[in-house]
Amino acid sequence: MDLLIKVKKGVQNKAQQEELLPTSRNNSNYGDEEQKKNSFVPKRRKTLSSLMKLTVFSLLIIIVYIFWGSSLTEMTSKYDSVTNLHAGQNTKTASYKTKQLTENEYYDHDFEDIEPAVVKKFDNGVQHYLISQYGTDVLTPSDNEVYAKELQMVLDASVEKYDLSTFTGSSNGATNRDHLLLCVPLRDAEHVLPLMFKHLMNLTYPHELIDLAFLVSDCSEGDRTLDALLAYSKHLQNGTLSQVFTEMDQYEMDHSKKSKGTKNLHLKYMNPDYLKLVDTSFKKRKHSNYDKPFRSIQVFQKDFGQIIGQGFSDRHAVKVQGIRRKLMGRARNWLMANALKPYHAWVYWRDADIELCPGSVIEDLMSKDYDVIVPNVWRPLPEFLDGEQPYDLNSWIESDEALKLAKTLDEDDVIVEGYAEYPTWRVHLAYIRDAAGDPNEVVDLDGVGGVSILAKAKIFRSGVQFPAFTFENHAETEAFGKMARKMGFRVGGLPHYTIWHIYEPSDDDLMEIANKERQNKRG
Ligand SMILES: Nc1nc2c(ncn2[C@@H]2O[C@H](COP(=O)(O)OP(=O)(O)OP(=O)(O)O)[C@@H](O)[C@H]2O)c(=O)[nH]1
Ligand SMILES: [Mg+2]
């Protein structure tokens, strides 16, 4: 809490004294003025001081809960400039263009027009305020006016009123100005963060209606997911992140020309059309509000004791699925419990490792007016492995065979889809895809995968959660789907609306690629 107060104070001082946006969340300074100028010098806001205040506040609510690990000072200093984002990268960082914000949603709800100095005057009670402010004399009408205004500010600071009937979630959320909480769990994810942030910016659902909440947990020693996340978040809220990525991409291109590494060897074996689609997708899809900041960002760091490795082969072993999924359930519930506010009408869960996804995914899912809804998730593969594959098998329709199978299992056993050990004969959303099918077609589901879930916030308020225990022989998102159904909510999936997960070569795939390379060399 001390940390938060310190951060708030720092931001306040900067806002009041310098009329500038904060350069650093922990109020640390750059070495000298010249260095500061060459780093991320914030833009002076000449007009609309309330807009400036808002941006200050939207940065301010990047709250970091550090339960273990290094201090905020150490972390942010490592990532204070883009130069540090990729070690040794020397990019030009002179000046970035920022945007003016006008939408009401940037200011409403949490961001009431409260001046801390005024609220503080009431610290010793109303009577003390009146005496020290106006002596014992009767208040003049103008004193009274000031008093009423300042008293209202105190009340606004401590009482929040919500009518939950106005935050139920509608199929046309953007027009209805529905607030949405977007949750992303992250573990050892530094390498996919640029991709993730590009997808976030690419979302066409109004950014001023989206609160972002990230949970970083159980990362490996030396992993820099949290540092990178904070650095990118700062730029996202400044509206400068796409400029940073342009520089990073340019650097990456120059660099890869110079050194022929084996890191991305598998790309040689992928479908060239798919690779081209990935390459051009952001260039083509950029929308006019791409650079607009989100309404707020919260970053949480908390470990849950996940010991199963995050490598592709580690995390897919059948024996570890139950434990892994239950811990993920705990992590998701924790994030939601901390980030969900009374005014959120929708919650969107999204994994970081998605390569292709329409920017309109939120509106597209919302338009179906289901309580829980997911798209189809496939992944590309090397051409020697058929080029593509149905990926997320956690979205399914329950079968009689699986119900019978469940009866033979222990109460605590977790059925895992896609493994020979559990022949469920369920209909998987992934397998009923027709690439040319109607993307608006919906089927009712029982279990759902967690890659991209849109859900009405009211279902969480009614008690639906991601079971961190075995619920009907399932855990986490699949059990979440089952639980939502059991509580009478509508759960659906779009078989012909596909988003694409990144391809990470498994150990077997890497061996196959190495074999092919050897064969090629032998000629
Ligand atoms: N906070 C947190 N995030 C995690 C953890 N494990 C995975 N993640 C994140 O959750 C998302 C999904 O992770 P994946 O490892 O792809 O897990 P998955 O989707 O169950 O597995 P795949 O189907 O193989 O992709 C990604 O954004 C990860 O960074 C964890 O233990 N804690
Ligand atoms: Mg994944």
The 8-class DSSP code of residue 109 comes to: T
Do 262 and 388 belong together in one domain? yes
State in Å: Cα 335 to ligand 1 middle.
14
State in Å: Cα 351 to ligand 2 middle.
6
**Local confidence band at 255 (pLDDT 50, 70, 90 cut-offs):** confident
What is the mean predicted confidence (pLDDT) over 437-449?
Answer: 98
Please tell me the number of the ligand nearest to residue 316's CA: 1
Do 149 and 177 belong together in one domain? no
Q: Is the pLDDT of residue 461 over 90?
A: yes
State in Å: Cα 16 to ligand 2 middle.
44
Sign (positive/negative) of CA torsion 428, 432, 436, 437?
A: negative
State in Å: Cα 422 to ligand 1 middle.
22
Predicted pLDDT of residue 104 = 76
Q: What is the pLDDT of residues 321-369, one digit of tens each?
A: 888 999 999 999 999 999 999 999 999 999 999 999 999 999 999 999 9
Q: Is the pLDDT of residue 71 over 50?
A: no
What is the mean predicted confidence (pLDDT) over 382-387?
Answer: 92
Token pair belonging to 278 = 């990935």
- Centre a 10 Å sphere on the Cβ of residue 138 and count the other Cβ atoms it contains: 8
Burial of 84 (0-12, 13-18, 19+ CB in 10 A): middle
Do 342 and 382 belong together in one domain? yes
Predicted pLDDT of residue 491 = 98
Do 155 and 179 belong together in one domain? no
| Weakest-pLDDT range from 63-77, 152-166, 441-455 | 63-77
Higher-pLDDT residue of 32 and 517 is 517
Predicted pLDDT of residue 36 = 35
Do 148 and 196 belong together in one domain? no
How much of the chain, in percent, has pLDDT values that exceed 70? 77
Do 425 and 450 belong together in one domain? yes
Domain boundary, last residue among 161, 196, 229: 161
Within a domain: 340: yes
Do 256 and 148 belong together in one domain? no
Ligand 1 mutation target, pool 351, 379, 453, 480, most atoms within 8 A of CB: 351
Count the alpha carbons within 13 Å of 356 in the hemisphere toward its beta carbon. 19
Within a domain: 469: yes
Within a domain: 246: yes
Within a domain: 422: yes
Q: Are 314 and 308 spatial neighbours (Cβ–Cβ below 8 Å)?
A: yes
**What is the rounded distance in angstroms from the CA atom of residue 225 to the CA atom of residue 78?**
12
311, 312, 314, 320 alpha-carbon torsion, rounded to 10°:
120
State in Å: Cα 185 to ligand 1 middle.
7
Q: Is the pLDDT of residue 484 over 50?
A: yes
Predicted pLDDT of residue 33 = 40
Which residues approach ligand 1 with their CB closer than 6 A? Answer: 185-187, 189, 215, 217-218, 306, 310, 315, 327-328, 331, 351-353, 451, 501
Q: Is the pLDDT of residue 470 over 80?
A: yes
Please name the residues in contact with 284: beta carbons below 8 A apart, sequence gap of 6 or more.
none
Q: Is the pLDDT of residue 288 over 60?
A: yes
Domain boundary, last residue among 97, 130, 161: 161
**Enclosing domain of residue 123:** 112-161
| Residue closest by Cα to atom 13 of ligand 1 | 351
Within a domain: 95: no
Higher-pLDDT residue of 382 and 265 is 382
Q: Are 446 and 485 spatial neighbours (Cβ–Cβ below 8 Å)?
A: yes
What is the mean predicted confidence (pLDDT) over 400-406?
Answer: 96
Q: Is the pLDDT of residue 296 over 60?
A: yes
State in Å: Cα 92 to ligand 2 middle.
33
Higher-pLDDT residue of 148 and 60 is 148
Do 154 and 177 belong together in one domain? no
| Residue closest by Cα to atom 9 of ligand 1 | 186
Do 286 and 318 belong together in one domain? yes
Domain boundary, last residue among 122, 141, 161: 161
State in Å: Cα 419 to ligand 1 middle.
19
Q: Is the pLDDT of residue 395 over 70?
A: yes
What is the mean predicted confidence (pLDDT) over 470-486?
Answer: 97
- Centre a 10 Å sphere on the Cβ of residue 236 and count the other Cβ atoms it contains: 22
State in Å: Cα 364 to ligand 2 middle.
21
**Local confidence band at 249 (pLDDT 50, 70, 90 cut-offs):** confident
Q: Is the pLDDT of residue 51 over 50?
A: no
Here the CATH number for the domain that contains residue 280 is: 3.90.550.10
Predicted pLDDT of residue 406 = 95
| Weakest-pLDDT range from 90-94, 250-254, 334-338, 479-483 | 90-94
Predicted pLDDT of residue 471 = 97
Q: Is the pLDDT of residue 193 over 90?
A: yes
Do 177 and 151 belong together in one domain? no
What is the mean predicted confidence (pLDDT) over 369-397?
Answer: 96
Please tell me the number of the ligand nearest to residue 320's CA: 1
| Mean pLDDT of the chain, nearest integer | 82
Within a domain: 68: no
**What is the rounded distance in angstroms from the CA atom of residue 346 to the CA atom of residue 375?**
16
pTM, two decimals, is 0.79
| Residue closest by Cα to atom 23 of ligand 1 | 392
Question: Total structural domains in the chain?
Answer: 2
**What is the rounded distance in angstroms from the CA atom of residue 146 to the CA atom of residue 129?**
12
Q: Is the pLDDT of residue 462 over 70?
A: yes
Q: Which atom of ligand 1 is nearest to the CA of 394?
A: 23
Predicted pLDDT of residue 120 = 87
Q: Which atom of ligand 1 is nearest to the CA of 325?
A: 20
Ligand 1 mutation target, pool 353, 379, 502, 503, most atoms within 8 A of CB: 353
| Residue closest by Cα to atom 28 of ligand 1 | 186
| Residue closest by Cα to atom 16 of ligand 1 | 353
Within a domain: 465: yes
Within a domain: 37: no
Q: Is the pLDDT of residue 401 over 90?
A: yes
Do 253 and 139 belong together in one domain? no
Q: Is the pLDDT of residue 20 over 80?
A: no
State in Å: Cα 446 to ligand 2 middle.
20
Q: Is the pLDDT of residue 377 over 50?
A: yes
Sign (positive/negative) of CA torsion 116, 118, 119, 122?
A: positive
Do 343 and 397 belong together in one domain? yes
Predicted pLDDT of residue 259 = 61
State in Å: Cα 450 to ligand 1 middle.
9
- Please, which residues bridge with residue 454 across strands? 348, 373
Token pair belonging to 78 = 């490592």
Q: Are 327 and 305 spatial neighbours (Cβ–Cβ below 8 Å)?
A: yes
Ligand 1 mutation target, pool 67, 184, 186, 478, most atoms within 8 A of CB: 186
Please tell me the number of the ligand nearest to residue 478's CA: 1
| Residue closest by Cα to atom 10 of ligand 1 | 185
Predicted pLDDT of residue 88 = 40
